Amino acid sequence: MSITTPATEATAAREGYFGAFGGQYVPEALSGALTQLVDAWHDAEHDPAFASELDDLRRSYGGRPTPLYRAGRLSEEAGVEVWLKREDLAHTGSHKLNNVVGQALLTRRMGKPRVIAETGAGQHGVATATAAALFGLECTVYMGAEDCRRQRLNVVRMQLLGAEVVPVESGTRTLKDAINEAMRDWVTNVDSTHYLIGSAMGPHPFPTIVRELQKVISIEAKEQFALQAGGVPDAVIACVGGGSNAIGSFADWIAVEGVELIGIEAAGEGVGSGRSAATISEGREAVLHGSRSIALVDEDGQVRPAHSVSAGLDYPGVGPEHAHLATSGRGTYLSATDDDALLGFRRTCELEGIIPALEPAHAVGWLLRHGHDHLGDGARVILTMSGRGDKDVDEVVEVAGWDVGVAKAFGTDRSEPTDNDRSEP
């Protein structure tokens, strides 16, 4: 399947748009499956039994609600009051299960025995494999070969949960290429297979379904903040790749005046360096993976390689609702470099006893370096800790060149950290 498809050569449905962005730009072979999914989602939205089962699974299986935690020491260092929405404490270790359980229920509703998924950091793959095991579905997960290398722990987790993991060797061997292969599989097996997309991207109705299933993050956070802190925050901050955790974090705040929505993209080695994944900062309007949005494309409309230390943000596009929020001015989209992310990773560990995934570590790194200047004195912010960082520890140590050592790793070195130990990587 072509990565970018001119609208004149595709099926474009004038529904599921966010301003100028969204729609359905797909081969004819997928039109029937998308129509079936639209109908199934519409029916489920109006079915109290669906909502009841989903809510019960979220509580009893997924561990919701996740806590909202005031990060005192991180707040002192950032110069603003930081509240962490702890999606890292949900079952499977990230926000991904919110979407996956709902789509697994839809898969059962449509009578399909098999799910496929793409994954970058592996968290969506793990969540999909988990739900497939729970519902008795066959599961295949496509993952770029480079991401398999740097997220090896999650590859093993998926396999333990019964999923087939297919390393993708084409292209840059990362998330974009995994999506391409998953779409090819879907075209071939559309009658028996549901493509369980993990982010707020793709053809309609996927961006809407993912937003509505991830919206639980902001619904909970709004209630928790009012109870624990009072009022509303000055800003809600989340990392953005395709944008599932961010749109879930933003959704229930969009209509609330005075709350800035800040999405932090991965700038890799820097905006303008040629090795970045800051799509909104550097991209242009294009059709990518079935919807019109903003993507990293060259003058000829070809997709440019994206780069990030984080496998989950290493994607050359963004979901269409984020493109709309950015161009309409409702959302503020900024970026953090690899070095910012490593700083955020390390300081969250040291200050709060929380090992973050590299994805939300971008948001923490931006907040530590730029948050006070951007937000001002007395600002209160909610930052979505979208996942835990077990999967990233080996990669961080290797990339940053940190000398962990056996003594430090096992807690036998009781010496005080040196200035060099505390410096940014």
CA angle 350, 265, 251 (to 5 degrees): 95
In this prediction, residue 176 carries a pLDDT of 87
In this prediction, residue 410 carries a pLDDT of 43
In this prediction, residue 171 carries a pLDDT of 87
Strands of 21-22's sheet, edge to edge?
17-18, 21-22, 291-295, 284-288
Query: Residue 10 pLDDT > 70, yes or no?
Result: no
Model confidence at 150, pLDDT cuts 50, 70, 90, reads confident
Domain 65-93+215-402 belongs to what topology? Rossmann fold (3.40.50)
Query: Residue 420 pLDDT > 90, yes or no?
Result: no
Nearest by Cα to 319 from 265, 242, 254 = 242
User: Would you say the CATH fold of 65-93+215-402 matches that of 25-59+96-210?
Assistant: yes
Q: Which residues, in sequence order, are CB contacts of 297 under 8 Å at separation 6+?
A: 4, 283, 284, 286, 288, 303, 304, 316
Inter-CA distances, 194 with 24, 40, 53, Å: 17, 12, 20
Q: Is the CB of residue 328 less than 8 Å from the CB of residue 19?
A: yes
Cβ atoms within 10 A of the Cβ of 126, count?
30
Query: What are the pLDDT digits (tens) for 214-259?
Result: 999 999 999 999 999 999 999 999 999 999 999 999 999 999 999 9
Which one from 87, 118, 359, 395 is the annotated catalytic residue?
A: 118
List the chain domain ranges: 25-59+96-210, 65-93+215-402
Running DSSP on this structure, what letter comes out for residue 367?
Answer: I
In this prediction, residue 1 carries a pLDDT of 31
| Structure tokens given for 107 | 């898969």
In residues, how long is the chain?
425
Q: Which residues, in sequence order, are CB contacts of 268 under 8 Å at separation 6+?
A: 275, 276, 277, 278, 306, 307, 308, 309, 337, 338
Query: Residue 318 pLDDT > 90, yes or no?
Result: yes
Nearest by Cα to 314 from 322, 323, 327, 305 = 305
Active site residue 96: yes
- pTM for this prediction: 0.91
Active site residue 9: no
Least confident of 66-75, 273-282, 407-416: 407-416
Active site residue 276: no
Which one from 293, 310, 335, 386 is the annotated catalytic residue?
A: 386
| Structure tokens given for 414 | 């009781």
Question: Hey, what amino acid is at 79?
Answer: G
Query: Residue 342 pLDDT > 90, yes or no?
Result: yes
Question: Hey, what amino acid is at 177?
Answer: D
Residue 1 or residue 263, greater confidence: 263
Which one from 96, 112, 176, 391 is the annotated catalytic residue?
A: 96
Note the CATH number of domain 25-59+96-210: 3.40.50.1100
